[in-house]
Amino acid sequence: MRLLDNGLDSFRKSILMIQKIDKVDSDAYEFHMKDIVLSLQHSIETLFKYLLTTVHEYFIYEDLSQYCKNLIENKIGNRGKQVAPHTIMFLEVLNRVIILKKLEISKSQYDSIVGLNNLRNAITHHEFDFTDRQAEHFIAKILPFFFDVFERNIPEFKSFCFQNNIQSTVKDFSRNNEVWALDMCTSYIIAIKNSKESIDYYNRNPIEKGTILKELYTNKNKIFEMEDCPVCGNKTFVRYGTTIIYLEEKNYFGRCNYCSFDQTKEMAMFIGLYFGTHNDFIKEFEAFLVKIVSEIFEFDSEELKKHIKQIRKNYAQIEDYVHHAINTLFISEIENLLHHKAGMYFENKIGCDSACGDEMVSTPGNIYYVEYHIDDLSDYDWEVQEFVSKYKSIFSIKEDIICWEYFFKEEYWFVFPFMDINLDENVNGECEMIVTYHLEKNDFGFVE
């Protein structure tokens, strides 16, 4: 059996089991998840080994020196005792593919893949509790990554997915997880907000604050351990337990007796899976919301119909943060349009002009500098109006919350490559273009 066929078969089986995950009763859930983890981990290891063989087969072996020595011994006719080469383990397979195939991977994705391998080891050699659905969440996190890697690097993968209805299953599974992540992010933001309101109250009433802290430190809970509260910083957080993420103790869950910060086990698991710690969440959650909102924008009509009530419920609780995410995405959209228009200007006016190429060659570093002012982007009315219409529809917003004149730089710097434009010199260089543009709402047919 070929590595490719073996890996694809295991991948297909894991996806078929994921399709049935919501129909499995509670008694069978853990066994069902066990089969998904074992099959998925096997498929990833096998398909990644296949990817290594597309570079060269020796990359799947642990000791390259011994493998090469065996080849030389065979080549020169020495038939003495040879050491059988061992193939590399899962994590080394992962590392080599990342390097040799130049894969883009985040720390969170890498940690989730390591977690999948740890989970497989626990199932094989020890034990694991699946009831908190943690494994389901981090599989949903990493499936799109693997889907993208296989689609880009395995020519047969697209037709294989079409024949087995795999893409829609992966997409739906990931969508469910994205909405869950939005739920958890919202719950955590609200918990912090409520906690800070309590802290502000005590800060305005210092006598009451001193009294309650004295009482809490005098009468510490003797049953549960007390920890530093991640929000108020006092050692008044009653720890009910600790979440296990990737088989390692991560965040504790419980409640602070001073500021009332209430962190459920599911919230603590979410923080561990997506951020690591509370402080990491504080630094990264706005960017995380931008990513989630961006993914929601990609939902098709059926996916929106399924999740719209939950999406809007979350929006109603954290609308300011969602507005910030929408504005961030809007500005990114405008920047893409500017880059596209600047690219057309480069192709039509500069990139094909040998005089510009001559000037480029004569500059230090082969760089041609140019300024380009864009008067308007009315050519892109449809794209912008579609963006605004979609966010209003998804979040049921009547007013326009786009900050048309804020968060937007009026000057951008784009780089375009010159390719052999100067035939005498036959050298490459680049055009560095400073683009200026003043964003106005009526550029896109919106009435002020």
Q: Is there a single domain that holds both residue 9 and residue 130? A: yes
285 confidence band (pLDDT: 50, 70, 90): very high
- What region does 61 belong to: left with phi over 0, alpha with psi -120 to 50, or beta? beta
Q: Is there a single domain that holds both residue 105 and residue 199? A: no
3-state secondary structure of 321: helix
Query: Quick check: 374 and 342 in contact, CB under 8 A?
Result: yes
Q: Is there a single domain that holds both residue 255 and residue 153? A: no
Strand (E) or helix (H) holding 293: helix 278-297
Which residue among 105, 131, 164 closes a domain? 164
Which residue among 132, 164, 196 closes a domain? 164
Question: 259 lies in which domain range?
Answer: 180-316
Determine the pLDDT at residue 415. Answer: 92
Q: Is there a single domain that holds both residue 200 and residue 152? A: no
DSSP calls for 188-224: HHHHHHHHHHHHHHHHH-HHHHHHHHHHHHHS--SSS
Which distant-in-sequence residues (6+ apart) come within 8 Å of 246 by Cβ?
111, 112, 114, 115, 118, 119, 138
Indicate whether 284 belongs to any domain: yes
3-state secondary structure of 106: coil
Q: Is there a single domain that holds both residue 339 and residue 311? A: no
Percent of the chain topping pLDDT 90: 44
Q: Is there a single domain that holds both residue 55 and residue 114? A: yes
Mean pLDDT of 114-137: 78
For residue range 60-107, list pLDDT tens digits in order. Answer: 887 777 767 777 777 676 665 555 667 888 899 999 999 999 998 888
Indicate whether 390 belongs to any domain: yes
Indicate whether 372 belongs to any domain: yes
Q: Is there a single domain that holds both residue 144 and residue 207? A: no
Q: In total, how many domains does the chain have? A: 3
Indicate whether 157 belongs to any domain: yes
Indicate whether 255 belongs to any domain: yes
For the record, the structure tokens of 191 come out as 């918990």
CB atoms within 10 A of CB 315: 20
Q: Is there a single domain that holds both residue 26 and residue 55? A: yes
Q: What are phi and psi for residue 397, nearest 5 degrees?
A: -105, 125
Chain centroid to CA 23 = 28
Indicate whether 135 belongs to any domain: yes
Q: Is there a single domain that holds both residue 281 and residue 349? A: no
Determine the pLDDT at residue 77. Answer: 65
Indicate whether 237 belongs to any domain: yes
For the record, the structure tokens of 103 come out as 């894969």
Determine the pLDDT at residue 448. Answer: 47
Q: Is there a single domain that holds both residue 35 and residue 113? A: yes
Q: Is there a single domain that holds both residue 157 and residue 184? A: no
Q: Is there a single domain that holds both residue 33 and residue 127? A: yes
Amino acid 154 reads: I
Amino acid 168 reads: S
For residue range 298-353, list pLDDT tens digits in order. Answer: 998 888 999 999 999 999 999 999 999 998 998 888 899 999 999 999 888 887 77
For residue range 358-390, list pLDDT tens digits in order. Answer: 777 777 778 888 899 988 787 888 888 888 888
